[in-house]
Structure 1
Amino acid sequence: MKRICICSLLGLLWLAAAPGCGQERLRLVNAALLSGWMENGENVRSLSGDVFFRQDSAEIHCDRALQYVERAQVELTGKVLLLDPPRRLTAGRVWYDEVTRDYRAYLEPQLQDTSRTLIADTLHYCERLDQATATGRIAIEEKHHRVRLQGKRAEYRRAEGYARVLGQPVLTEMDSLGAVLMTVTADTMELFEDGRRYQLAGQVHIHRDSIDAYCGRLIYVRASQKLQLIDHPWATRGQDLMRGQEMEILLEKERVVGLHLQMQTAVLSRVDSTQSRSEQYDLLTGERMEIAFRDDKISRVVVRGQATSYYHVYEDTTAKGMNKALGDEIHLYFKDGALERVRVISSPGNSSGVFYPPKQAAALRSELEEKLGQVRSLRVMMNEK
């Protein structure tokens, strides 16, 4: 093997046209040490010490490089920095193709642009598609939206403002101080419109404020401050259970301010344990339901369309009986988390409200337990899915 060594090489200029292509070939600007040899009929150049390449508008910096001249590829190691605005890559090792300008990056690669940072164990970038694929412990950090996507595999198409994360993905949203506002887990996560819309599918679990919500598909549009839950959604808040065919979680100033339920809605609510020593539940059902929150507590509930309520009546800790109300609309008002008053709105003849003293409430309790079982069965069914 024939070897040529050139030491203390500074300011070396190396320019050649890429074969069959109008773009500039990789050009060496600086290196402290250069040596070369023939390997299997190919010219190999070894460079070390403050290595600096240019190619058109791109800059490449590293500690060491092995350049395979005929195949137009270079292995970069050490503190690798590749600047090709708006992209910026750092890594411990990079294989770079001069012709396609694709690269494979290893050893804690980080790919940054004006919108986000992609971190992974391994990263492959395709210049023609302007697409990065990543594997290992991956994270996509949204610079302007304070959102982080984590998983085991990711695809990122910068020009389209699109990303997809697989492998037990987790979405985390934070406030301006870095405190966690929301976490979401799912089977797949997608980012659209440069982070203005997120879509998650599979076994979706959302945790925000005191609410845990579940569904088969979630759409989060940041501008509308709304989480749209589709495919058998249901939610829990403490020991309360809420469900419907569709569900929306409404946000304002980073807090949950409302929950809207559509079609076959139901809210199962635990009777205050300071009033009832036994575990008892009230129930609301209807076609549509709006739940308002203030300071992470329920302040008002409006039920519309075949509205029905079952609730226990207590005076201090003494059970006074049960009440069943039916109407076109039922409005419930709460103070400090406790039910303060109930209002039934209905056309003449379509409303009723019946109070059952304890000794006469057995039949109503059986009716309530049957309906509670139907509501709970949905949660069990969705957990099994």
Structure 2
Amino acid sequence: MSGIPSSFQKSAFYVVLLALLTAVMGQTGNQQSSGLELLHADLSRGVEENGIPLKILSGNVHARQDSLELFCDRAVYNQQSGEIHLRGNVRLYRGQDTLLAEEVRYFEENQIAVAEGNVHVFRPGQELRSEYLEYHYNTNQIRARRNVYLHDSDNRVYITARQGEYIPDADYSYVRGNAHLWRVDSTTTDTIHIFCRQQEYHFGESRRAVARDSVHIYQGNLHATCDSAVYQIEEDIIYLMSEPVAIQENNKMTGRQMQLILENRELKRIRIDNEARAVSLLDSLAKKQNTLEGREIILYITDRELHQIQAISNARSFYYLREQEEEQGINVASADTIKVFIKENALDSISVIGGSQGTYYPPDYKGKIVQE
């Protein structure tokens, strides 16, 4: 998609996951932990290395500590230090959590797993990936870095950033530094992208993303900017605050607040509140542009094309009239409501409703044109 910054690529970032311990996780930090149990291996032999006895395990290795189950293809267990090095198809399970990696070093005394290589952590409807991850099972704290991203699979939402926090039991994440959220639409053709410096994502019943600081939003041919935005996932509405600006093809919209209203991730309406203004550039060299203003403006979009603009309350318009590519003058109007109909990205007709006043200026008019 043109115009999207290069940060669309997965950003390497540092994520700290802090969570309250719950019954789902199967233990609390105050419980006394039992030692590591070696339950099965197809082959097991003892060796001594630098005076340290080691146990070499291979084939369907299975170990357990409390409610944590550990599986791999092969492992080396140092009973003296309480460290087991698992390699090959490593899987760790506890409650509803699953950790997968190419290799894991697990320290039974502190219950810490250090995972490397294609690390995945799964919870119902959520996923975390990285190349390096430390999972503190005794405190339910995770540190991950290198190519990390979060995935809310229930809503097709992905998040990347440089660093942040993720609290799974609180259904909350916070990231900062080139934060990027994207959500795939129903046809996977017009994915929503939200870029910002800081972002929160709430996984709870009211799923939402809160973007702050230098927010950029891309969807199809739309590019919007603002200082802060809230994306209500279930409602499929993005609320833009703090002087939002939206550009779609040759149309520019501004106001104090703005809403991007979607259906199945496809943009259907843009609503602008307070000091609402929509400008359509006709000729940049001649500085010709159509303008519509009002307390509220709603833009209606069908099949990704703008087809109607409606200004409500204290509406004012300034439009160049054309017919078959010939200029037909200028129409300046004010009314309670003004509706502008667009066809093939050009003005088709204007409807002025309630308390209307207007002035028509013919194409050969040479005097001063007064905008209402």
TM-score between both structures, scaled by the size of structure 1: 0.79
* Structure 1 or 2: more strand by fraction: 2
286, 297, 317: which one aligns with 1:309: 317
Q: Is the 8 A contact 2:159 2:180 kept in 1?
A: yes
**Cα 1:344/1:179, change in 2 over 3 Å:** closer
1:232 maps to a residue whose letter is: E
Contact 1:268–1:281 (Cα < 8 Å) also in 2? yes
Q: Deviations over 1:14-62 (max 9, x none)?
A: xxxxxx953332110123234355879xx65343313321123321112
Q: In the alignment, which of 131, 140, 150 is matched to residue 140 of structure 1?
A: 150
Q: Which runs of 5+ in 1 are unaligned?
A: 1-19, 369-385
Is 1:284 equivalent to 2:292 in the alignment? yes
* Residue equivalent to 1:251: 262
Q: Which residue of 2 aligns with 1:201?
A: 212
Instruction: Give the letter aligned to residue 327 of structure 1.
Output: A
1:224 aligns with 2:217: no
Do structure 1's residue 115 and structure 2's residue 125 form an aligned pair? Answer: yes
Deviation at 1:157, TM superposition (A): 1.6
Task: Select the structure that is richer in helix.
Answer: 1
Which structure: larger Rg? 1
- Seen in structure 2, the aligned counterparts of structure 1 residues 228 and 362 have a Cα distance that, compared at 3 Å, is farther
**Pair 1:362–1:208, CA change in 2 (3 A):** farther
Q: 1:298 to 1:24 in 2, by over 3 A?
A: same
- Find the aligned partners of 2:164 and 2:45 in 1 and give their Cα distance: 38
1:278 CA displacement: 5.4
What does residue 358 of structure 2 align with?
353
Residues 266, 151 of structure 1: alpha-carbon distance in 2 compared, 3 angstrom cutoff: same
| Percent identity over paired residues | 23
1:183 is aligned to 2:218: no
Instruction: Find the partner of 2:87 among 58, 73, 77.
Output: 77
3-state SS of paired residue (1:120): strand
Which residue of the partner structure matches residue 3 of structure 1? none
Moved more, 352-361 or 280-289: 352-361
Using the TM superposition, give the Cα deviation of residue 131 of structure 1 relative to its aligned residue in structure 2, in angstroms: 4.0
In the alignment, structure 2 segments of 5+ residues that lack a partner are 1-29
Distance 1:358 1:302 in 2: 26
Pick aligned residue for 1:101 from 107, 111, 132: 111
Work out which structure has the larger RCO, using CA pairs closer than 8 Å and 6 or more positions apart in sequence: 2
Correspondence for 2:340 among 332, 339, 346: 332
The 8 Å contact of residues 185 and 192 in structure 2, kept in 1 or not, is answered as no
TM-score (norm 2): 0.82
Matched residues, number: 340
- Measured at CA, do residues 360 and 44 of structure 1 come closer, stay the same or move farther in structure 2, by a change above 3 Å? farther
Aligned to 2:223: 212
Once the two structures are overlaid, the 10-residue window that deviates more, 30-39 or 100-109, is 30-39
CA distance in 2, matches of 1:34, 1:153: 43
